[in-house]
Structure 1
């Protein structure tokens, strides 16, 4: 009996690291989706010619949340990720890099408009959250 218990415990301990969930920042289906949502929000705030598709954005946010839940993350884990100052800073840096790589001059609202129109035209995930006025 002792050998069986030892074997079961050994298997459980070996399986634990493999079964551990990655940090939400490493789950592209969540992290990249939140980045796109944030970029769409920033574009609509900076460009006077573009507005948000708010109902679509709310639905999109709910889908991200459900994705995290379906992957086994708890509400506490999701909230910790969402509220983390480190994650917010990392996400802002990712967003700034995306804007720069796509030619946005943060002092020029029209450059946000150009990016927004491009994203809308491409029917990208960011573009699907925006509407040209």
Structure 2
């Protein structure tokens, strides 16, 4: 009976490892990658705009939720860390963010453009705007 438990446990670990090996890169998981873009945009606005701050606790809670979501999908801490710490992924997200801001009609390269974009997101009550608050 004891051997059956060990064999079952070994199969469970093997199945888990095989499932993890079949996972797409996190950049291809829309519900993670898109939300990382929104969080990154909020941080960029707050970093560059003197009249807008990021809601730190809300942002941290959101990011922990994304980490938990990725973990529950089968991604290891190492896979998540590699995605988050990747310079290439950061540059890709930055390009996507700049394109998004341009499509919204603002200049992503100036504080004025980022402030106007951030103020608009706050006014709309968007997910990006929910991470921000005006300070005057």
Provide the TM-score with structure 2 as the length reference: 0.78
Instruction: Kindly indicate whether the alpha-carbon contact (under 8 Å) linking 1:105 and 1:111 is maintained by their aligned counterparts in 2.
Output: yes
| 1:20-31 equivalent positions in 2, closer than 5 A | 20-31=22-33
Q: Which runs of 4+ in 1 moved over 3 A?
A: none
Question: 2:86, 2:112 → 1: CA distance?
Answer: 32
Q: Shift in Å at residue 76 of structure 1?
A: 0.8
Task: Write the distance in 2 (CA, Å) between the matches of 1:46 and 1:82.
Answer: 21
8 Å contact from structure 1 (residues 29, 67) kept in 2: no
- Corresponding residue for residue 109 of structure 1: 111
Q: Mean alpha-carbon deviation: is it higher for 117-126 or for 82-91?
A: 82-91
Cα distance in 2 for residues equivalent to 1:51 and 1:25: 27
Q: Secondary structure at the match of 1:131?
A: strand
Shift of 1:107: 4.8
- Corresponding residue for residue 12 of structure 2: none
- Secondary structure of the corresponding residue to residue 30 of structure 1: helix
Q: What is the aligned-residue RMSD (CA, Å)?
A: 1.7
1:91 maps to which of 90, 93, 96: 93
Count how many residue pairs are aligned between Structure 1 and Structure 2. 117
Q: Which of 36, 40, 43 is the matching residue for 1:41? A: 43
Mapped to 2, the partners of 1:106 and 1:87 lie a distance apart of 18
Q: Is residue 71 of structure 2 the alignment partner of residue 69 of structure 1? A: yes
Does the residue aligned with 1:61 lie in a helix, a strand or coil? Answer: helix
Higher deviation after alignment, 108-117 or 51-60? 108-117
- CA drift of 1:92 comes to 1.4
Structure 2: runs of 5 or more not aligned: 1-17
